[in-house]
Amino acid sequence: MAKKEKKEEEEPRIGVFICHCGSNIGGFIDCKEVAERAKKLPHVVFTQDNLYTCSETGLAAIKKGIREHNLNRVVVASCTPRTHEPLFRACIEEEGLNPYLFNFVNIRDQDTWVHQKVPDKAFIKANDVVRMGVAKAEKLEPLDKIIVDVTPTALVIGGGVAGMTAALNLSNQGFETHLVEKDNRLGGRLNGLYKLFPKDQESSELLDALKKKVENNPRLKVYTSATVKNIEGFVGNYEIEVEQGKNIIPLKIGCIIVAVGTSLFTPEGYYGYDGEKRITQSQLEVKLKSGTLNENEIVMIQCVGARIEERKYCSNVCCMTALKNALIIKEKNPNTHITILFRDLYTPGSYYEEYYRKAREKGIVFIYYNPEKAPKVEKDTIKVFNEYIGEEISIPYDLLVLSVPLVANAENKALAQMLKVPLEENGFFLEAHVKLRPMDFATDGVYLSGSAKWPVDITESITQGYAAASRASTILSHNTLEVEGATSSLPEYNKALCTGCEVCITVCPYKAISKNEDDEIVITQVLCKGCGVCGATCSNHAIVIRHFTDEQIMAEIDAFGGK
């Protein structure tokens, strides 16, 4: 890349591109004027405003700018680096520039969006941050991405339907796969279920077929009664310790899929729950499976312990579970009276809505209840305020079935810490982006599927199992990977400054810093995410955060406030 090196040695020649983002930015400030003013900044040789700089047209404009004006630094002022920095870096790289000679200036998320009501001030701020961005761009240095090898093996944690599906797919794609299950058998929640909606097929039928495929797959190794004890390393290169009985099994793994599933809420203290006359849907399934259900007056209450102050969410599967069990009972004994007390009946899509209709046709009674006037459970009757007729009605029962939510596993926290991935407020695992990266974690090489992420039914567990496998395969299919180059470093020339105080080791959230045999600080580059915490806490300024050096940041501050 002779062309690239030549450009970097030259005087900085900066191009600035101001994005309107449709009217997200352009609707509030005069982008043309921002571009005009940027023209007068030091080393800026070209500026332009674009309707959407990220569009193919916008990217072509950047490339044209680089070619025609011999630019060696590019600044884009637009939405957010979170979504768009990779795109612009790739764009300038295609024109032969080092991708780190690009600087992103945020004038949408942190400017026109938050200062919508004071567009005059937003305009001033846009000019300020562009000026700062240009000052930093002048000091940018080319960096190399780090290349690491990838071990073509996968670890799937959790042997329920999602985990088994993921593991089978990956092994069928040709990757050696290890499936770790804490129980003494595969199957997860499928083991506790009687029949599965909406086909009313026996759970064991699906489970046995899956298990057979898993057990007969030569590339798939199953460890039951086993847990993951330790995880070291990084994408493509994990060192895992699996504990099975007294044995510790070491594994070399490229990608990890989290499919640990979920737990059932126990409704202690709700509606007189006693596990006998007042039971959960899960306990009802045990009765149905063993053929010991003799009751004729059955009432079910939905959202027990869900959609309340301490647990705000809807658990997704309980309405369908109630319908399924009610239909099974009706099928067996059409004279059984079944009443379902619900808040909002959750049967989305075509299959489930049809199931709901079927339940109504079979004579199952549905009564809406307002959570502010919750049903009252007495010895043999339930009193519920029927909003529609405006009075309280009494329903006799000999079996009360409570539909309780799925809740996050208590062990999630420990696993999350080991994997260095986050949990959301209810204790479920938190994905990288709710909308467009549903199976990924922010940490590369770790993926998520099934109810570990959020309560889902069998159908979604299967699709998510495949989906996580697909995401893992996008890594495992490569011999090598490129990792971000803007990392923390302790340069040779700064080593004398390091006092060995170890504060950086303590604060690093990614466990990327350690001491070697010579008692020297070592930063494992591929583990480092470039967050900068170590650099900020290093009292002697020995640590340098590449792409965010003291010199670059000071240049920005000077540009903002003048010297």
Partner 1 sequence: MVRKLGDNSKSVVVIGAGIAGIQAALDLGDMGIKVYLVEKEPCIGGRMAQLDKTFPTLDCSICILAPKLSECYRHPNITLYTLAEVQKIEGSAGNFTVEVLKHPRYVKEGVCTNCGDCGSICPVRGVPNFFDADLVTQSAAQIAFPAAVPPVYRINPDVCLYLNYGICGLCYQNCGADAIDFTQKEEVIPVENVGAIIVATGVDLAENIHTLNVYGYQKYDNVVTAMEFERLICASGPQQGHLKTLTDGRTPKKIAFLQCIDSRNDRTQDYCSSVCCMYTTKEAMVAYEHDNELESYVFYIDLRAGGKGFQKFLLRGAEEYNIKYIKSKISHIEVDENQSPIITYENLESAEIKQMRFDLVVLATCIIPSLSNEKIAKILGIDLDKNRFIKTDPFFPIESSVPGIYTCGCAREPMDIPRSVAEASGAAARAAELVKGG
User: Interaction with partner 1 in 128-147: which residues (CB under 8 A)?
Assistant: none
Query: 446 vs 523, which CB is nearer to partner 1?
Result: 446
Please classify residue 329 by burial: count the beta carbons closer than 10 Å to its beta carbon, then call 0-12 exposed, 13-18 middle and 19+ buried.
buried
Q: What type of residue is 346?
A: Y
Q: Binding string to partner 1 for residues 241 to 270, with x set by CB under 8 A, is what?
A: ------------------------------
CB of 76 to partner 1, least distance (A): 13
Which of these, 171, 269, 284, 279, lies nearest to 221 by C-alpha position? Answer: 171
Alpha carbon distance 13, 75 (integer Å): 11
273 belongs to the binding site for partner 1 (CB under 8 A): no
Query: 285 vs 431, which CB is nearer to partner 1?
Result: 431
Instruction: Please pick, from the candidates 4, 32, 45, 52, the single residue that binds partner 1 as defined by CB under 8 A.
Output: 52
Query: 103 vs 316, which CB is nearer to partner 1?
Result: 316
Query: 69 vs 357, which CB is nearer to partner 1?
Result: 357
Those residues whose C-beta lies under 8 Å from the C-beta of residue 146, and which sit 6 or more positions away, are 482, 483, 484, 485, 487, 525, 526
Instruction: Please pick, from the candidates 4, 182, 289, 307, the single residue that binds partner 1 as defined by CB under 8 A.
Output: 307
Alpha carbon distance 453, 430 (integer Å): 7
Report CA-CA distances (Å) from 305 to 43, 294, 295, 375, 380.
63, 27, 25, 13, 22
Report CA-CA distances (Å) from 555 to 138, 140, 370, 548, 563.
9, 11, 60, 11, 9
Residue with tokens 């480092």, as numbered in its chain: 528
CB of 537 to partner 1, least distance (A): 32
The interface region with partner 1, picked from 41-49, 230-238, 340-348, 526-534 by CB under 8 A, is 340-348
- Write out the binding residues for partner 1, residues 196-215 only, by CB under 8 A: 196-199, 201, 206
Query: 36 vs 353, which CB is nearer to partner 1?
Result: 353
Instruction: Please pick, from the candidates 216, 292, 479, 539, the single residue that binds partner 1 as defined by CB under 8 A.
Output: 479
Instruction: Please pick, from the candidates 51, 286, 288, 553, the single residue that binds partner 1 as defined by CB under 8 A.
Output: 51
548 belongs to the binding site for partner 1 (CB under 8 A): no
439 belongs to the binding site for partner 1 (CB under 8 A): yes
474 belongs to the binding site for partner 1 (CB under 8 A): yes
Alpha carbon distance 222, 278 (integer Å): 38
Instruction: Please pick, from the candidates 87, 114, 414, 536, the single residue that binds partner 1 as defined by CB under 8 A.
Output: 87
The interface region with partner 1, picked from 39-47, 82-90, 277-285, 524-532 by CB under 8 A, is 82-90
Report CA-CA distances (Å) from 47 to 16, 33, 342.
5, 11, 61
510 belongs to the binding site for partner 1 (CB under 8 A): no
- Write out the binding residues for partner 1, residues 350-409 only, by CB under 8 A: 350-354, 357, 368, 370, 387-390
Query: 252 vs 437, which CB is nearer to partner 1?
Result: 437
CB of 494 to partner 1, least distance (A): 34
Those residues whose C-beta lies under 8 Å from the C-beta of residue 118, and which sit 6 or more positions away, are none
22 belongs to the binding site for partner 1 (CB under 8 A): yes
Query: 276 vs 309, which CB is nearer to partner 1?
Result: 309
Query: 205 vs 551, which CB is nearer to partner 1?
Result: 205
CA 295 to chain centre: 44
Residue 37's DSSP bridge partners are none
74 belongs to the binding site for partner 1 (CB under 8 A): no
Q: Which residue spans within 182-219 are E strands per DSSP?
A: 195-196, 201-202
Instruction: Please pick, from the candidates 14, 16, 18, 21, the single residue that binds partner 1 as defined by CB under 8 A.
Output: 21
174 belongs to the binding site for partner 1 (CB under 8 A): yes
- What is the DSSP code string of 71-127? -SEEEEEES-HHHHHHHHHHHHHHTT--GGGEEEEE-IIIIITTTTT-HHHHHHHHH
Alpha carbon distance 530, 525 (integer Å): 9
